[in-house]
Amino acid sequence: MNEKQLDRRLNQLQDWVPSAFEQLGIDLAEDWQLQAVSGDASFRRYFRVHSHNLSWIAVDAPPQKEDSAPFVAIARAWETLDIHVPQVHLADLSQGFMLLSDLGDTLYLDRLTPDSADPLYRQALVTLTHIQQCRSIQGEPFPPYNRALLQREMDLFSDWFLGQLLELKLTSYEQKLLGQVYERLIVSALEQPQVCVHRDYHSRNLMVIDAQAPGVIDFQDAVWGPITYDLVSLLRDCYIDWPEHRVTSWALDYAELAAEAGLMDSVSEQRFLGWFDRMGMQRHLKAIGIFARLNLRDSKPGYLGDIPRTLDYLRRVAASHTELAEFGRWLDQRVVPAMSLSGLFSMERLEQPLSSGASDAI
């Protein structure tokens, strides 16, 4: 949307807010204010409404660009499952406006430190098991995270990152290699227990609130899919990383919680961590493609800074699995040099050597 369209939307939202408060029977101060909070990787914009020393969040989600119906339905369903989502006070889906409760400004990303990580992640893992126990919304099943969607997401890496951002012309060998890797990751995802998947469960979508649990936002794209997807989104986050021994410990803590909640049968640590690793690769391929697309299509270059960390996850996981080691070497020999030549990235992380040797985790 251009600046003129954005300004028009803002004026419409300012007109809508007083009528929304009137419908809710809430007194709106004469000197109420609308303060921009943030946008995100979509077309949604968020504004804080200040009135009488209280605050709400007004959302502008242009209906021709964003369908807010899933957000409203999921928020209202999850609120009953001890999941701290924003309360939807009022939603005008025809105009694309919503009035939500205010969960504050403190992201997990802002509060995660080596000392705070254990209790914060424990709370997030417990909430994740609550999310995963949701079976349907208003009697309707979640869309399936099926083979076609898994493939389409990884194709973002090939199309937007390799092809358009780095301008690499892939040989037939390279195309075959990527196809084989993608197939391995799809098979691993589909053989896992299937649950409700938030789909963006990470440190920028979890809030530190006045409760022993995180506030959860940005859940409108929830699907029915692999049990490790949200777990790896959280623990191998594109925006913050941790020593591998801590990641493994948290992942196995979650496996115990999931078994206790009846979300999966008991499986070996090796098998579970293999699912976790491969699911992370699928997600990180997708994320890198999205970051490239946000830069090229949506003029949002800030996400380029997250690509080296995300690609480093791919390199390190590939190096730890024999059947993926060739892909890891290809990343080092072909993709990392192309990133360096592009001049778009800080290469310090990717210039660090990987530990030698590979091990199977099935």
In whole angstroms, give the CA distance from residue 58 to residue 176. 48
pLDDT reported for residue 362: 32
pLDDT value of residue 347 = 96
What is the reported pLDDT for 6?
77
Cα gap 266→62, rounded to integer Å: 45
Please give the domain boundaries of the chain with CATH numbers for all domains: 3-101 (3.30.200.20), 108-351 (3.90.1200.10)
Among residues 162, 193, 156, 163, which one has the least CA distance to residue 282? 156
- The pLDDT assigned to 87 comes to 97
CA distances in angstroms from 272 to 34, 183, 265, 358, listed in the order given: 47, 19, 11, 18
What is the length of the chain? Answer: 362
pLDDT-flagged residues of the chain (< 70): 1, 39-41, 355-362
Chain segment 60-70, per-residue pLDDT in tens: 999 999 999 99
Calpha distance 9→242 (Å, rounded): 41
Contact 43, 66 (CB under 8 A): yes
CA distance 310 to 349: 10
Predicted pLDDT of residue 361: 37
Q: How far is CA 356 from CA 49, 235, 315, 320, 321, in A?
A: 54, 23, 12, 9, 12
Lookup: tokens for 203:
């440190």
pTM: 0.93
Residue 194 phi, psi dihedral angles, 5° rounding: -105, 135
The pLDDT value recorded for residue 266 is 87
Distance CA 323, CA 328 (A): 10
Q: What is the CA radius of gyration of the chain?
A: 21
Q: Give pLDDT, residue 352.
A: 84
